[in-house]
C-alpha cells in the first residue's frame, strides 16, 4: 500500500525557517519524481516545487531562492527546506508523487498534508 506521511509543519515567525519531510512507503521511491503542493486560504492549490529522479529541481518564482526541495532515496524521503518565510506562505503543504504515462504527468498519490503557519 502506498503511504505518504508529511511532518515538520508548525508555527513560525516571519523570516524564519522550517523543514518539511515526506516519508514514503509501499513502492520503489527512487523511481518517481516528487512535488510539493500547498493549499492556501480559500482552498487555492499552488505548486511549490519539484524534484526529478536525477535530482533536477524546479520552482515557481514565488518561492525560488527561498525554498529548496531535496530527496534521500536511501530513506525513501523528500524534503522541503523553507527559508525567509512570509505570511503568504501560510498553507497546508502536501507532498505528491508524480506518475508519467504517455507523456502526461499527474499526481497519483498525495500525503495527508502538514500545516505551516507564518505569524508573529
| Residues making contact with other proteins (CB under 8 A) | 35, 43-47, 50, 58, 60, 94, 99, 101-102, 104-113
Residue 5 CB, nearest approach to other proteins (Å): 11
The number of beta carbons lying within 10 Å of the beta carbon of residue 8 is 16
C-beta of residue 46 within 8 angstroms of C-beta of residue 40: yes
Smaller CB separation from other proteins, 81 or 110: 110
**DSSP bridge partners of 109:** 97
Measured from the CB atom, is 43 or 120 closer to other proteins?
43
Q: How far is the CB of 96 from other proteins (least distance, A)?
A: 8
CB nearer to other proteins: give 89 or 114.
114
Least separation in angstroms between CB 50 and other proteins: 8
Residues sharing a CB contact under 8 Å with residue 76, sequence separation 6 or more, in sequence order: 23, 24, 25, 29
Rounded CA separation 83/89 (Å): 10
Amino acid at each position: 500500500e502506498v503511504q505518504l506521511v508529511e511532518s515538520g509543519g508548525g508555527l513560525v515567525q516571519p523570516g524564519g525557517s522550517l523543514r518539511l519531510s515526506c516519508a514514503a512507503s509501499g513502492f520503489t521511491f527512487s523511481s518517481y519524481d516528487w512535488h510539493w503542493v500547498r493549499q492556501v486560504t480559500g482552498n487555492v492549490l499552488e505548486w511549490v516545487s519539484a524534484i526529478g529522479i536525477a535530482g533536477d529541481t524546479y520552482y515557481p518564482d514565488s518561492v525560488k531562492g527561498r525554498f529548496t526541495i531535496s530527496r534521500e532515496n536511501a530513506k525513501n524521503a523528500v524534503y522541503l527546506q523553507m527559508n525567509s518565510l512570509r505570511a503568504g506562505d501560510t498553507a497546508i503543504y502536501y507532498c505528491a508523487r508524480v506518475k508519467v504515462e504517455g507523456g502526461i504527468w499527474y499526481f497519483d498519490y498525495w500525503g495527508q498534508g502538514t500545516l505551516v503557519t507564518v505569524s508573529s
